[in-house]
Structure 1
């Protein structure tokens, strides 16, 4: 039993199946594409290359995903590769006259992520000839990656990377913090921010930059600027410290 079968997240449920892969380097590259997106269940069907899991090129191209490569399984048929799966998607750039419904990677990923009972598999074919019709017809859907119609050629690992990326997004969302990655302090309260504005206004008046009798729109514009930054408590304290120093060093009003 694959260790991921106890994991009900999409990361534990999704299997990548490579059929008759010709180059060991591509196996390693697919392992790397999978690991960067959090997936690890890899099965090879009758690979055409020798020692695809231990070949030096496979290990080099895996580049840190050696654990995915080492845990991959080699089987002799698509039936064995899909054991335990209840939904299979053939991946092909070539549309067939008689094929299962055609889905995009995003549609497949949303479907797979939204049904915890589903144990899906992505089936990718040989680098040169792709998947045989017999295997495509055994799958529930055919995935076609939208690409430039004038040149839609993706190599095996590129296709696997696109599929793994879409699956990850469906599983966890984009995970992007609009403030960026790194240290995140406590968000400043409204009272703290209002105190900062009052302190800053006092400093600008002391500096002669702001006319208290004719302030125009300066403070509302500064408030609009700072409202876009999602100020943290420490940042408010820094700005108030700057205001304090401005006030301390500002010339007396009768000398301004």
Structure 2
């Protein structure tokens, strides 16, 4: 399914901001993480290396997300990076005594997917020092990723992947309900399913798997099991084809 890219879509409104990133490979991996989830805007604030976007390690770790690197902006201050943003969230494993409201990733994503903010800034700190308190305190929210309390530090690209994944899922749901990947056929009607059950019951009786005089709970259990599958028309036809083949075989043997 191709999601519409409009000015109101979170795919167009979310800006990923990396502050004082140390390793070029992490910038490349971040670009890859962003692209795989359908986002595109990456801004670097004072990265350690001025040539980070052309660094061979960044290009290698981007692994096909070169277009994201090509369009990445490098700025000198967090104020410049946040220009135009109406909502700003910081991502940190370290909670502060004085901080904006703390949100888990999913709550943040769901809130932003349904918001009308023109631009949303999502800030990640450096690998070595994280984010300084003055940046966190000026944000609208602090996002804390639930993790092992004894080892809660995620790799930078992993954290970006997790947040952008949650944003994608929330956006999919906001636009079109739960998003299923792959082909989806037409769901079978109750009449079609009832016909399948009758056909299947006849086949099971024919091979003496089901005793019509003592059926016990076989058919109700089969119905319960198959009901969880939310059968499509083609799947019902397959089941009826199996039942027909069984009946044809048993008729020939008689």
| 1:115-159 CA-partner distances (Å, limit 9, x unpaired) | 113421011122111222332333223222222211111122122
Q: Distance in 1 between matches of 2:108 and 2:86?
A: 14
Runs (4 or more) in structure 1 with deviation over 6 Å come to none
Query: Number of paired residues?
Result: 247
1:46–1:77 Cα contact (<8 Å) kept: yes
Q: For residues 155 and 236 of structure 1, do their structure 2 counterparts lie closer, same or farther at Cα, with a shift above 3 Å needed?
A: closer
| More deviation, 93-102/29-38 | 93-102
1:112–1:118 Cα contact (<8 Å) kept: no
| 1:64-96 CA-partner distances (Å, limit 9, x unpaired) | 211111111011111111111122122222333
Are 1:34 and 2:34 an aligned pair? yes
Are 1:204 and 2:204 an aligned pair? yes
| More deviation, 101-110/160-169 | 101-110
Q: Distance in 2 between matches of 1:135 and 1:159?
A: 18
Are 1:60 and 2:63 an aligned pair? no
Question: In the TM superposition, what are the counterparts of 1:85-124 in structure 2 within 5 Å?
Answer: 85-124=85-124
Q: Distance in 2 between matches of 1:76 and 1:207?
A: 77
Match of 2:150 in 1: 150
With normalisation by structure 1, the TM-score equals: 0.84
1:34–1:40 Cα contact (<8 Å) kept: yes
- Give ranges in structure 2 of 5+ residues lacking alignment: none
| 1:13-60 CA-partner distances (Å, limit 9, x unpaired) | 111111111111111111111112221111111111241111111011
Match of 1:138 in 2: 138
Are 1:73 and 2:69 an aligned pair? no
1:53–1:70 Cα contact (<8 Å) kept: yes
2:86–2:117 Cα contact (<8 Å) kept: no
Question: In the TM superposition, what are the counterparts of 1:228-239 in structure 2 within 5 Å?
Answer: 228-239=228-239
Match of 1:169 in 2: 169
- Residue 185 of structure 1 deviates from its aligned partner by 2.9
1:207–1:251 Cα contact (<8 Å) kept: no
2:8–2:118 Cα contact (<8 Å) kept: no
Q: Distance in 2 between matches of 1:102 and 1:72?
A: 28
Q: For residues 63 and 242 of structure 1, do their structure 2 counterparts lie closer, same or farther at Cα, with a shift above 3 Å needed?
A: same
Q: Distance in 1 between matches of 2:160 and 2:82?
A: 17
Match of 1:187 in 2: 187
